[in-house]
Amino acid sequence: MVERKCAGCGKIKNREELIKITKQNAHSDLVINGDTKIFGRSAYLCYNNSCIEIAFKKNRLQKALKTPIPPELKGKLLDEF
């Protein structure tokens, strides 16, 4: 069992219970819930809107991934999860 920390609320949960956002090393593309074969920096979020809102409001995803986050990613996350 692998545990990760939510970028929104800071709670530590099992990796399968979190949304994974990865910045790929090869292209610097952002991938949501990619498989474990994708290499790059990753950040994790709980499957709830409040954690997504907090992570974007306080720029926690941008800091964790060390890359600018496009604003449409927030809408995509809120729509999907």
pLDDT of the residue at 60 = 94
Identify the residue whose tokens are 């890359």: 67
| Tens-digit pLDDT profile for residues 19-62 | 999 998 888 788 898 767 788 899 999 999 999 999 999 999 99
Span 3-80: which CATH code?
Answer: 3.30.1230.10
- DSSP, collapsed to helix, strand or coil, labels residue 53 as helix
Listed residue (70, 66, 35) closest to 56, CA to CA: 70
Give the separation between CA 52 and CA 41, rounded to whole angstroms: 18
CA–centroid distance for 27 within its chain = 17
Q: For the chain, what are the domain ranges? A: 3-80
Q: Check if the beta carbon of residue 45 is closer than 8 Å to that of residue 52.
A: yes
Confidence of residue 8 (pLDDT cuts 50, 70, 90): very high
